Amino acid sequence: MQHKIAILGSTGSIGTQTLDVISHFPDRFKASVLAAGSNVGLLIEQALKHRPALAIIADETKYTQLRDALSPFGIETAAGTTAMSEAMERDDFDTVVTATVGYSGLLPTIRAIRTGKQIALANKETLVVAGELVNRLLTDSSSRVIPVDSEHSAIYQCLVGENNDTVNKLIITASGGPFRTFGHEAIASVTAQQALKHPRWHMGAKITIDSATMLNKAFEIIEARWLFDINPDKIEAVVHPQSIIHSMVEFIDGAVKAQLGIPDMRLPIRYALGDASRLPSSERPLSLSDYAELSFEKPDPEKFPCLTLAPYALNKGGNAACIINAANEVAVKAFLDGRISFPGIYDTITKALENIHFIARPSLDDYVSTHYETIAFTSRLTGTAPTLNQSQTHNTEH
**With binding defined as CB under 6 A, does residue 392 bind ligand NDP?**
no
CA distances from 205 to 106, 149, 150, 193, 307 (A): 19, 16, 17, 10, 19
What is the spatial distance between Cα 306 and Cα 304, in angstroms, rounded to a whole number? 5
E strands along the chain, which residues? 3-8, 29-36, 54-57, 76-79, 95-98, 118-121, 145-147, 167-174, 235-239, 245-251, 256-260
Sites for ligand NDP among residues 159-218 (CB under 6 A): 201, 203-204, 207
386 is a contact residue toward ligand NDP (CB under 6 A): no
Residue (211 or 384) nearer to Mg ion, CB: 211
Taking alpha carbons only, the member of 133, 127, 136 closest to residue 220 is 127
Report what 80 binds from Mg ion, ligand NDP, none; CB cut-off 5-8 Å by kind.
Answer: none
Q: Please identify, using beta-carbon distances, which residue of 53 and 164 lies nearer to ligand NDP.
A: 53
**Of the listed pieces 27-35, 76-84, 142-150, 320-328, which binds Mg ion according to CB under 5 A?**
142-150
C-alpha distances (whole Å) from 7 to each of 16, 43, 386, 389 are 9, 11, 25, 17
Query: 76: which residues sit within 8 A by CB, 6+ positions away?
Result: 53, 54, 55, 70
210: contact with Mg ion by CB under 5 A: no
Q: In what order do the strands lie in the sheet with 167-174?
A: 235-239, 167-174, 245-251, 256-260
Residue 373 interacts with Mg ion (CB under 5 A): yes or no? no
Q: Which is nearer to ligand NDP, 10 or 382 (CB)?
A: 10
CB 19, min distance to ligand NDP, A: 11
Smallest distance from the beta carbon of 263 to ligand NDP, in angstroms? 9
Three-class secondary structure of residue 30 per DSSP: strand
Sign of CA dihedral 42, 47, 52, 55: positive
Does residue 102 come out as left (phi exceeding 0), alpha (psi in the -120 to 50 range) or beta? left
Total chain residues near Mg ion (CB under 5 A): 3
H or E, element range at 312: helix 309-316
Q: Which does 256 bind (CB under 5 to 8 A by kind): ligand NDP, Mg ion, none?
A: none
**Inter-residue contact 127 to 221 (CB < 8 Å):** no
Which of residues 202 and 278 has its CB atom nearest to ligand NDP in the complex?
A: 202
Report if residue 149 touches Mg ion, rule: CB under 5 A.
yes
Q: Which of residues 216-275 bind Mg ion (CB under 5 A)?
A: none
Q: For ligand NDP, which stretch binds (CB under 6 A), given 11-19, 44-52, 159-167, 313-321?
A: 11-19
Span near ligand NDP by CB under 6 A; candidates 119-127, 229-237, 282-290, 354-362: 119-127
Give the nearer residue to ligand NDP in terms of CB position, either 208 or 319: 208
First to last CA, the chain: 31
Say how many C-beta atoms besides its own lie within 10 A of residue 221's C-beta: 22
Give which of Mg ion, ligand NDP, none residue 99 binds (C-beta under 5 to 8 Å, depending on kind).
ligand NDP
Question: Which CB atom, from 10 or from 175, has the smaller least distance to ligand NDP?
Answer: 10
Query: By CB under 6 A, what part of segment 50-79 binds ligand NDP?
Result: 58
Site mask for ligand NDP (CB under 6 A), range 28-47, x = bound:
-------xxxxx--------
**Cβ atoms of residues 31 and 75 within 8 Å:** no
Count CB neighbours of 155 within 10 A.
27
125 binds Mg ion (CB under 5 A): no
Binding string, residues 349-378; x marks residues near ligand NDP by CB under 6 A: ------------------------------
Closer by beta carbon to Mg ion, 210 or else 250: 210
> Residue numbers of the site for ligand NDP (CB under 6 A)?
9-15, 35-39, 58, 81, 84, 99-101, 104, 122-125, 149, 201, 203-204, 207, 265, 388-389
> Residue numbers of the site for Mg ion (CB under 5 A)?
149-151
